[in-house]
Amino acid sequence: MPDYILNKPGKLTEEEYSIIKKHPVIGGEILSEVTVVPYLSIGAGNHHEKYDGTGYPMGKKGTEIPLVGRIVGIVDTVDAMTSTRSYRKGLSVEETISELNRCSGTQFDPELVPIMIEILREGIDFEEEEQEPIGSHLVSAVLHEYSKAAQTDRLSGFCNKQYLQMQINETLQKSPQGKALVLVDIDNYRRVSQICGHGSADAMIVCIAEGIRKELKSTDLAGRIEDDKFAILLCNIDKDQLEAKLLKLQKNMKSLIKELSLAIKVGISIGASMAPESGSDYSELYHNADKAVYFIKQDKKKDYFIYCEAQENEISDRLKAEEDIDIWHLKVMLSESISIRGVYHVDTMEFEKIYKLMQRKSKRSGEMQSLLLFTLQAVGGKNEIYELEEALEKLRQVLNQSLRNGDIASKINLHQYAVLISGADAIEAERVAQRIGFGFGNINDNKNLNLFFEVEAI
């Protein structure tokens, strides 16, 4: 930057200001060769971008601005506001906080503002002999708090799904003995949110989280893994202790929900699986604990259920036994069923039955039917479960957009989806599969996963 511009006492001209606006680019280029501090050049090149898109040099908006650029931007501004210059005194902490709040969502990332405010209120401990500028301390502090916040669910205060999964797998790798995975599933959560409002749904989550927290030991782990589901890893516990813990947990949950006086009836379904009998990692334990939750939802007489492979067939048979109804009740039940629009998603057992029915129908009527299998394959390494789940959810979205009424889809496992298409031969089905593959490619941002498909006429 020319000295005459930097030292100019008066207001800059438009031409001079346009030169000033080049300094992030120049700074980024200068620092691009520095490797001691990661992402330093990215932070320098983007620190004058604003969250609402009115910054420079590129006019980037929101998350288009790299995280390190958003952090350096807020830190640079706080450093400037709190520093005393020859022409003014530095702002106080309260004045700085007022400015941060005023510019939240316009100049600054609204998620970073409360973190910065918390750091300013708590203060930063500087040793007198330390010569490092305040800005570098603020960058470190914000990065630390942001990474901590990224691992935490805002409402419950527990770990989020990805971080919890990582912690549980690390714990189980050390020793799976005496561990149990517990799933706490909230029935009617979405109805509470729709009818009572998001505030009531949020209050319910906070309440249930507090109830869970009271039952945890220091060695236990807990997280909110879905909007309406918590996962807990209980350590140093046997089956009898687990029974007692689940009974107490269910009792506490009922009491807490009752105190909320919600207009919608809310229930809690608790399922568990023990390591190593029912699995030795998060994925296996979750799969079996989720089965236990399903059993509870079907069998309203139980408050909780611990998965046991030896009991599975017996429980499945018992759940299938239902009371007789007359034809009038059947008609009412069917007429009140939710109408199905677009592709119909079913579980694998139901998919198998439908496939056999379509196979027989095809032989009898000659109508063309096709089976499609979509597979997510890792490129150059193994993907985490949460990455596969995210990719499968995107594939599900594309299936919903691409398939028609009467088509059937089923998630076969963590990396495969099967689809049955009516009235289509293998050639037409392949065109549909290509369209789905193209649509998935447009929204898939995980370049370590590719989608492959196979087509067979039934």
Domain boundary among the residues 304, 320, 336 is at: 320
Residues 96 and 100: their CA atoms lie apart, in Å, by: 6
Residue 438: C-alpha distances to residues 164, 170, 366, 397, 444 (Å): 33, 37, 31, 13, 10
Domain boundary among the residues 320, 353, 371 is at: 320
pLDDT at 130: 45
pLDDT at 222: 95
Report yes or no on 334 lying in a domain: no
Residues 415 and 350 in one domain: yes
Domain extent, residue 271, equals: 161-320
Report yes or no on 117 lying in a domain: yes
Residues 211 and 18: their CA atoms lie apart, in Å, by: 58
Residues 246 and 138 in one domain: no
pLDDT at 313: 62
Q: Per the structure block, which two tokens stand in for 94? A: 């309260």
**CATH code for the domain of 8:** 1.10.3210.10
**CATH code for the domain of 258:** 3.30.70.270
Residues 186 and 260 in one domain: yes
Residues 189 and 266 in one domain: yes
pLDDT at 187: 86
Report yes or no on 11 lying in a domain: yes
Residues 117 and 203 in one domain: no
Report yes or no on 329 lying in a domain: no
Task: Beginning with the edge strand found earlier in the chain, give each strand of the sheet holding 229-235 in spatial order.
Answer: 221-226, 229-235, 179-187, 267-275, 304-306
Residues 195 and 226 in one domain: yes
Residues of the chain predicted below pLDDT 70: 1-10, 31-40, 86-87, 123-151, 299-301, 309-342, 380-386
pLDDT at 168: 93
Domain boundary among the residues 115, 150, 185 is at: 150
Report yes or no on 339 lying in a domain: no
Residues 111 and 169 in one domain: no
Report yes or no on 338 lying in a domain: no
Residues 212 and 100 in one domain: no
pLDDT at 154: 76
The pLDDT tens digits of the residues spanning 55-69 come to: 988 888 888 888 888
Residues 111 and 184 in one domain: no
Residues 27 and 50 in one domain: yes
The pLDDT tens digits of the residues spanning 355-406 come to: 888 888 888 888 888 999 999 888 766 666 667 778 888 898 899 888 877 7
pLDDT at 330: 64
Report yes or no on 336 lying in a domain: no
pLDDT at 17: 73
Q: Per the structure block, which two tokens stand in for 351? A: 């998919």
pLDDT at 153: 81
Residues 371 and 281 in one domain: no
pLDDT at 52: 93
Residues 280 and 167 in one domain: yes
pLDDT at 285: 94
Residues 425 and 100: their CA atoms lie apart, in Å, by: 61
Residue 100: C-alpha distances to residues 74, 79, 103, 112, 117 (Å): 9, 12, 5, 10, 8
Overall number of domains in the chain: 3
Report yes or no on 327 lying in a domain: no
